[in-house]
Amino acid sequence: ASTAKFFVGGNWKCNGTHASVEKLVADLNAGDVPADIDIVVAPPFIYIDYVRANIKGAYAVAAQNCWMKPDGAFTGEISAEMMDDAGVPWVITGHSERRLLLGESNRTVGLKTGHALEAGLSVIACVGETLEQRNGGNLYHTLDLQLQALFENVQDWGKVVIAYEPVWAIGTGVVASPEQAQEVHAYVRKVLGDRLGKATSEGIRIIYGGSVTDANCAELATQDDIDGFLVGGASLKAPAFINICNARG
């Protein structure tokens, strides 16, 4: 188990209009969430500044992606330095949608993660296997390669949260069972412990993502190595997201 605070992230993905974002922020502001956990919401880039300026202090904001150089001729990209300059403290790296739909390799994810940390951001770094990889007996090999790319680029693990997100569970309604998730989280903790030492590994949050709802979060949250959640679909509904923030009661 981690000794660090429970963590809940909301990944809004490519969803929202100015009106719906305004309503979601107002509804999140009206909800009661525990003061002793970390909560981070990741709106689309274009709405981040509005959310940052209008959401209450219980929630921090994150970007869903960043570039791996400070500036230059990289049309369409937004750098970690710009996020830091704009008051965005967190970024998600390595989300499976970016890995699979946009071709981000383990190396790219590692470089982005290392660069974001150097720029002063905290990072939610995502790992996870496809169904094909799991069924082919490659679950742990896949995770090893994804984690290795992080080990090669991360100096300071104090600002890293690892999100285990099995691709087969993302947006599918098929949630990993608490035992399935715990088994993988325990493995990730062991790999972290072997590389970084037990004390450091216990300070790192390993959060679960993949079809988390307010109906299944409580049981997942009882598992020893599940230190929180990364929530996609249910993070767009304030009542559900608030309930998930209260998963530990």
**Residues carrying an active site annotation:** 95, 165
Binding to ligand PEP by residue 11, rule CB under 6 A? yes
The phi and psi torsions of 138 (rounded to 5 degrees) equal -110, 20
Minimum CB separation of residue 248 from ligand PEP in Å reads 18
> 90 Cβ partners below 8 Å, 6+ apart?
40, 42, 60, 61, 62, 63, 121, 122, 123, 124
Minimum CB separation of residue 162 from ligand PEP in Å reads 13
Binding to ligand PEP by residue 81, rule CB under 6 A? no
Minimum CB separation of residue 226 from ligand PEP in Å reads 13
Determine which residue in the list 16, 110, 166, 233 makes contact with ligand PEP, applying CB under 6 A: 233
Binding mask 166-185 for ligand PEP (x = CB under 6 A): ----xx--------------
Binding to ligand PEP by residue 212, rule CB under 6 A? yes
* Run of H or E residues at 62: strand 59-63
* Run of H or E residues at 13: none
Q: In one letter, which amino acid is 87?
A: G
Binding to ligand PEP by residue 125, rule CB under 6 A? no
| Count of residues engaged in binding ligand PEP, rule: CB under 6 A | 13
**C-beta separation of 232 from 171 below 8 A:** yes
Minimum CB separation of residue 175 from ligand PEP in Å reads 8
Based on DSSP, count helices (H) and strands (E) in the chain, helices before strands. 11, 8
Which residues within the stretch 180-209 sit at the binding site for ligand PEP (CB under 6 A)? 209
Minimum CB separation of residue 170 from ligand PEP in Å reads 4
| Distances in whole angstroms, Cα of residue 173 to Cα of each of 162, 211, 231, 237, 238 | 22, 5, 12, 15, 18
Of 172, 173, 151, 171, the closest CA to residue 162 belongs to 151
Tell me if residue 22 falls in helix, strand or coil.
helix
Q: In one letter, which amino acid is 83?
A: M
Determine which residue in the list 142, 153, 211, 243 makes contact with ligand PEP, applying CB under 6 A: 211
Q: Tell me whether strands 7-11 and 38-42 are parallel, antiparallel or unpaired.
A: parallel
Tell me if residue 70 falls in helix, strand or coil.
coil
Q: What residue number has its CB nearest to ligand PEP?
A: 232
Question: Which one, 55 or 124, has the nearer CB to ligand PEP?
Answer: 124
DSSP state of 225: T
Question: Which one, 81 or 210, has the nearer CB to ligand PEP?
Answer: 210
Determine which residue in the list 40, 207, 230, 247 makes contact with ligand PEP, applying CB under 6 A: 230
Question: Which one of the spans 15-23, 50-58, 163-171, 198-206 is the region binding ligand PEP (CB under 6 A)?
Answer: 163-171
Contact residues for ligand PEP (CB under 6 A)?
Answer: 11, 165, 170-171, 209-212, 230-234
